[in-house]
Amino acid sequence: MTIQTVDLIIHAKWIIPVVPKNTVLTDCSLVINDNRIIAIKPTNNIEQLFSAITEHDLKEHVVMPGLINAHGHAAMNLLRGYADDLALDTWLNDHIWPAEAKHVSAEFVKQGAELATAEMIRSGTTTFSDMYFFPEETAAAAHSSGMRCQITFPIFDFPCAWGNGPDDYISKGLTLRDDYRNHERINVIFGPHAPYTVGDDTFVRLSSLAPEIQSGIQVHLHETKGEVEAAVKESGKRPIQRLYDLQVLTPTTQCVHMTQINDDDIAILQQTGAHIIHCPESNLKLASGFCPVDKLLKAGINVALGTDGAASNNNLDMFGEMHTAALLGKAVAEDAAALSAQQVIEMATINGAIAMGIESDTGSLEVGKCADIIAIKLDDIEHAPLHDVLSHVAYTHNGHRISHSWVNGQLLMQERQLTTVNTKEIASNAKEWQERLAQN
């Protein structure tokens, strides 16, 4: 029998492939060649079939798909803890927006995004979506870090630091999309901020452009009760109905937050195939409301997870987000069986990939998919005894236990040491921004 030489083999105590559901493989190995998974086999048979240039023997670890943070504002890591414990309007109008108006620049976004990528890699995220000013800087940070990224370039009906109006934002965004057209890890889509900052004419334009160039759309929607009430008072329509009428909602639309949902909204989501990005910790911190995730999943609507920005969350730890989503989902549904460990793991992996349209490449460990993989070391006292691997992953806050991370087969972290970013420089830059922002 001929033994095939491959790039990488990862031997693991447990593998959670995510697909198929509720599956945990024991004492198996992942075989990777040309950046993709080519086999998942029992470890005791591997040597008869493959020889690897590099091997990792992770016998105290769970290996699973890298997590997908489906909504965030990476550069806002520089505003972590800047204005806490305030009402949403006060937080935005009196603190965050003035700080952004004074400080946001290409340098701010570059260094904030670098800080965010380092944090995300160290806590198990391999793919993230970002909506923020100067998106070209975040794309560059994702490229250099090795992460997979969806850039949702921002669009408003008014000027900001990055542009002077919808035409300018769209022109710059499409240029950025062209720059990354053939990039294997970075995708650029439309990011109209929200119904209250984007007018009908702009949404109509996007509803025509998006299918023409096969682009997705991500939009903040139904984030608060006040947003929905104001829209109804002004137009007689709930925001989701308005976007439906403008033909913005399609199977490539990602609706972020959706804390205010009724049965009519669910019917629209079912009809259009639009996705929801649930950001439970940010919503809780800002007292924005509760997304009825269990009800949505039972209605067949795809729900993914995001952290939102660190200014309204304080961290980008997707394991914490899974834990919060599960507990909050049970409370909202008034059902302890709602949102199982498997379901929240899916929300943090394959559901995010589906929302972004990249499920053929990532989101699960399957033959043919890209090698986007993380390893969690579960040898400490906090994980003993280990009765249920899925439960441990969902409920025991594992972000700090990530030992290894690969994206597209490239090793981004080994034994907690980042391999693609300069952590000393990143920490130094963050300290400088702390001092600048303190002068406000």
Residue 390 is part of which domain span? Answer: 4-65+374-418
Which amino acid, one-letter code, is at 156? F
Chain segment 359-385, per-residue pLDDT in tens? 999 999 999 999 999 999 998 888 889
Query: Given this model, what pLDDT does residue 195 score?
Result: 97
| Residue-averaged pLDDT of the chain | 96
Q: Taking the model in full, what pTM does it have? A: 0.97
Residues 180, 207 share a domain: yes
Does residue 369 lie in a domain region?
no
Residue 277: predicted pLDDT: 98
Residue 23: predicted pLDDT: 97
Q: Is the confidence at residue 439, as pLDDT, over 90?
A: no
Whether 235 and 339 share a structural domain:
yes
Contact 184, 408 (CB under 8 A): yes
Query: What's the pLDDT at 113?
Result: 98
For residues 290-313, average pLDDT:
97
Same domain, 52 and 102: no
By CB atoms closer than 10 A (0-12, 13-18, 19+), residue 271 is exposed
Looking at the structure, tell me whether residues 172 and 83 fall in a common domain: yes
Within a domain: 432: no
d(CA 104, CA 138): 13
Q: Do 132 and 235 fall within a single domain? A: yes
pLDDT score of 382: 86
Asked whether residue 209 is domain-assigned, the answer is: yes
Check: CB of residue 318 under 8 Å from CB of residue 305.
Answer: yes
116 and 33 assigned to the same domain: no
pLDDT at 87: 82
Residue 106 has pLDDT above 80, yes or no: yes
Let me know if 88 is exposed, middle or buried by CB neighbors in 10 A (0-12, 13-18, 19+).
Answer: middle
Same domain for 129 and 33:
no
Mean pLDDT of 135-154: 98
Domain check: are 128 and 229 in the same one?
A: yes
> Quick one: pLDDT at residue 398?
87
Query: What's phi and psi for 258, nearest 5 deg?
Result: 45, 55
User: Has residue 13 been placed in a domain?
Assistant: yes
* Listed residue (393, 395, 385, 414) closest to 65, CA to CA: 393
Paired tokens of 40? 């998942």
- Distance CA(189)–CA(180), nearest Å, equals 11
Structure confidence at residue 296 (pLDDT): 98
The yes-or-no verdict on residue 1 having pLDDT over 90 is no
Phi, psi of 17 (to 5 degrees): -80, -15
pLDDT in tens, 174-217: 999 999 999 999 999 999 999 999 999 999 999 999 999 999 99
pLDDT classification of 89: cutoffs 50, 70, 90: confident
Number of CB atoms found within 10 A of residue 175's CB: 12
Residue 437 lies in a domain: no
Count of structural domains within the chain: 2
**pLDDT confidence of residue 159:** 95
Distance of alpha carbon 270 from alpha carbon 296, whole angstroms: 9
How many CB atoms within 10 Å of residue 2? 5
CA distance linking residue 198 with residue 1, whole number of Å: 63
Q: What is the CATH number of the domain that holds 41?
A: 2.30.40.10
230 shares a domain with 132: yes
| pLDDT number for residue 180 | 98
Provide the CATH number for the domain around residue 110.
3.20.20.140
What would the mean pLDDT of 141-165 be, rounded to a whole number?
A: 97
Is 433 within the bounds of a domain? no
Instruction: Find, among 125, 72, 32, the residue nearest to 256 by Cα.
Output: 72
Sign of CA dihedral 307, 308, 313, 315: positive
pLDDT band at 88 (very low <50, low <70, confident <90, very high): confident
Residue 216 maps to a domain: yes
Number of DSSP helices (H) and strands (E) in the chain, helices first:
17, 16
Determine how β-strand 4-15 pairs with β-strand 67-69. unpaired
Residues 98 and 171 reside in one and the same domain = yes
- Under DSSP, is residue 179 helix (H, G, I), strand (E, B) or coil? helix
Please check whether residues 247 and 384 belong to one and the same domain: no
Q: Examine the pLDDT at 86 and tell me if it is beyond 90.
A: no
Buried b (16+ CB within 10 A) or exposed e, 102-117: ebbeeebbbbbbbbbb
Is 239 a domain residue? yes
Cα(347)–Cα(341) distance, integer angstroms: 10
Whether pLDDT at 319 is above 80:
yes
135 in the same domain as 48: no
